[in-house]
A and B are shown apart, each in its own frame.
Chain A
Amino acid sequence: MNTLSQILVLAISAIFIQNFVLSRFLGLCPYLGVSTKMDSAFGMGMAVIFVMTMASAFCSLIYKYLLVPYNLTYLSTLAFILTIAALVQFVEMFILKNAPSLYKALGVYLPLITTNCAVLGVAILNITPLPDGSTYNFLFATLNGFFSGVGFTFVLLVMAAIRERLALVDLPKSMHGFAHGMILAGTMALAFSGFVGLKI
């Protein structure tokens, strides 16, 4: 396979087959919390794509040039948390100064994502050996982060759209809010499990 088709496979796998929310069950907190309105879901999604891509790139570098040479791979979780937290803080300060309009769109969501398990998850998954024993290189790790973020945003938007439409449904009071969201999430996960059969 050439690089382009490998990237396509990576994209389909990260967005549909190995979707972060619905098949890896990571990032469930924002998935249920920020999915009541399309606008905020979109903002959150964009912030997640941004942070996941950056975190994948930086953690991949840290892993390759700092952890592997000194046999410290068992400390990767610790090192990644440190890297992601510092990175998000730095990026927040940077865009507050240099791109105030971008900060207005993403600013509220950035601190929420600092400790999001999906972001740490993508960094850890990038260094986890694939079935054939290889790991992602820098380019593929970054792309994996990006496409995983896209997959997260995709299901977050679908969820928000469903919840917006179902806001008017006559439900028993006990089923409102979280209970209703859980049933929706389960149904969506069931639908997404169909993608597992996709052979690429």
Chain B
Amino acid sequence: MNLSLLLPILAPSLASDIGVPVLIIGAMGLAFGLLLAFASKVFAVNRDPRVEEIISVLPGANCGGCGKAGCAGYAEAIVLQGAPVNLCTPGGPKVAQEIAKIMGTEAEAVVKKIAVIHCSTGGKDNTKWKYDYRGIETCLSAVNIAGGPNSCSWGCVGFNDCLNACKFDAISVDESGMRIIDIEKCTGCAACVKACPRKLIDLISIQQNVFIKCSSKDKGPLARQVCGTNQPCIGCGICVKKCPQQAITMANNLASIDYSKCTDCGVCAAVCPTNAILDTLRGTRKKSEIDAELCDGCHICVPVCAVGAIKGEENQKHNIDQDKCIGCGVCITVCPKNAIKTKE
């Protein structure tokens, strides 16, 4: 057959059969390409190059020990929010110095963090049980069966996953089955934080002495009923109101302390009606006393005292009830006459 005869018939159909699809798909590609190019300009997020540099310096363990979501989150927090450079426990002083170099500031010493268990139960004698668990002896397995063998579905089940995760022998068990954390041996590696299926363990600066020893998000009456030590956080909110630094927040019936604000005064532990807040310095703080000569009876100190230890009528000399005073020192900071001093 003569091809030249077919050509006029073939050519227009060829053009439309190949041309149209190529045109349309090509146009689609071009449109999407332009859209993305346009979007990358419009939605460009300016990332500080220092963030990348800090990420490369950090250990990359994403342990969360700094309180941020992983190393990238911490790097961002340093650059954008001015977070301290010394929060990385695994990295230690070396990393802190390197970050400080990138940021052009001086490194402060890394504050050592230790693990704190936010539960007061978990021993043989101080836990209420729902049923007798006889499975694989790990917390991870126990908490999976009907919400765990202990009555409190937030508390410690006591199969020592944290102890087994600890590579430094920093966790030991006493005769009643309670876990004790050795402050000297604890390196703040957060292995136990990850091992605890109930997320009861948290890393807190070694300089802090006030801890909330409960993780129950149950409502007050239920929390009381199921707690083996009868020291649950019942979500009453007294600590939130009494904290002189507003460092405590209440969420889901559970108080939590913001340690960046906490001054370790111990007021929350003193006012907690269920003793759910542990204060390791309780009773050892130096109490305050009023210098009768300087006091002019302005009455400013009376309402700020969380334990109601200051007595006295307005325009009369005030005095502090030494039995009630917990030595938090809040009154000292508010006295306009500097009449209140720490008792030696």
Q: Number of A residues contacting the other chain (C-beta, 8 Å)? A: 23
Give min CB distance, B196 to chain A, whole Å: 15
Interface set, chain B 140-159, CB cutoff 8 A to A: 140-141, 144
Q: Number of B residues contacting the other chain (C-beta, 8 Å)? A: 22
- A79 CB contact (under 8 Å) in B25, B36, B40, B44: B25
Interface set, chain B 5-50, CB cutoff 8 A to A: 20-21, 24-25, 28-29, 32-33, 35-36, 39-40, 42-45
- B25 CB contact (under 8 Å) in A75, A85, A96, A165: A75
A104-B69 CB under 8 A given contacts A82-B29, A86-B36, A90-B36: yes
Give min CB distance, B327 to chain A, whole Å: 42
The docked-state distance in angstroms from the alpha carbon of A86 to that of B35 is 8
Asked if A94 and B28 sit within 8 Å, CB to CB, the answer is no
Asked if A90 and B39 sit within 8 Å, CB to CB, the answer is yes
Interface set, chain A 63-105, CB cutoff 8 A to B: 66, 70, 72, 75, 78-79, 82-83, 85-86, 89-90, 93-94, 96-98, 104
A130 interface contact, C-beta 8 A: no
B-side contacts of A168, CB under 8 Å? 136, 138, 140-141
A70-B32 CB under 8 A given contacts A90-B39, A94-B39, A94-B43: no
Asked if A75 and B21 sit within 8 Å, CB to CB, the answer is yes
Asked if B32 and A96 sit within 8 Å, CB to CB, the answer is no
B-side contacts of A94, CB under 8 Å? 39, 43
B-side contacts of A86, CB under 8 Å? 32-33, 35-36
The docked-state distance in angstroms from the alpha carbon of A85 to that of B25 is 14
The docked-state distance in angstroms from the alpha carbon of A66 to that of B25 is 10
A8 interface contact, C-beta 8 A: no
Give min CB distance, A69 to chain B, whole Å: 10
Q: Which residue of B lies closest to A161 (CB)?
A: B144
The docked-state distance in angstroms from the alpha carbon of A72 to that of B20 is 9
- A82 CB contact (under 8 Å) in B21, B28, B136, B141: B28
Give min CB distance, A58 to chain B, whole Å: 11
A-side contacts of B45, CB under 8 Å? 96-97
The docked-state distance in angstroms from the alpha carbon of A79 to that of B27 is 11
A167 interface contact, C-beta 8 A: yes
A-side contacts of B29, CB under 8 Å? 82
B-side contacts of A78, CB under 8 Å? 25
Asked if A72 and B24 sit within 8 Å, CB to CB, the answer is yes
Q: Mark B273-296, 1 if CB is under 8 A from A, else 0.
A: 000000000000000000000000
Q: Which residue of A lies closest to B145 (CB)?
A: A165
- B21 CB contact (under 8 Å) in A72, A85, A96: A72
The docked-state distance in angstroms from the alpha carbon of A69 to that of B322 is 90
- A167 CB contact (under 8 Å) in B25, B35, B40, B140: B140
A-side contacts of B43, CB under 8 Å? 93-94, 96-98
Give min CB distance, B26 to chain A, whole Å: 10
Give min CB distance, B316 to chain A, whole Å: 55
Asked if A93 and B39 sit within 8 Å, CB to CB, the answer is yes
Give min CB distance, B92 to chain A, whole Å: 27
Give min CB distance, B44 to chain A, whole Å: 8
Q: Mark A156-182, 1 if CB is under 8 A from B, else 0.
A: 000000001101100000000000000
A-side contacts of B20, CB under 8 Å? 70, 72
A-side contacts of B40, CB under 8 Å? 93
Q: Mark B200-232, 1 if CB is under 8 A from A, else 0.
A: 000000000000000000000000000000000
Give min CB distance, A119 to chain B, whole Å: 16
The docked-state distance in angstroms from the alpha carbon of A86 to that of B40 is 12
Asked if B28 and A79 sit within 8 Å, CB to CB, the answer is yes
The docked-state distance in angstroms from the alpha carbon of A197 to that of B151 is 42
B-side contacts of A90, CB under 8 Å? 35-36, 39
B-side contacts of A167, CB under 8 Å? 140
Asked if A89 and B36 sit within 8 Å, CB to CB, the answer is yes
B-side contacts of A82, CB under 8 Å? 25, 28-29, 32
Give min CB distance, A78 to chain B, whole Å: 6
The docked-state distance in angstroms from the alpha carbon of A104 to that of B68 is 13
The docked-state distance in angstroms from the alpha carbon of A51 to that of B97 is 43
B-side contacts of A165, CB under 8 Å? 144
Having A79-B25, A165-B144, A168-B141, one finds 11 other A-B pairs with CB under 8 Å, namely A62-B28, A66-B24, A70-B21, A72-B20, A72-B21, A72-B25, A78-B25, A83-B28, A86-B33, A89-B36, A98-B43
Q: What are 19 A-B residue pairs whose CB atoms fall within 8 Å in the complex?
A: A62-B28, A66-B24, A70-B21, A70-B24, A72-B21, A78-B25, A82-B28, A82-B29, A83-B28, A89-B39, A90-B36, A93-B36, A93-B43, A94-B43, A96-B43, A97-B45, A98-B43, A104-B69, A168-B141
6 tightest CB-CB pairs across the interface, nearest first?
A86-B32, A97-B43, A93-B43, A93-B39, A168-B141, A165-B144
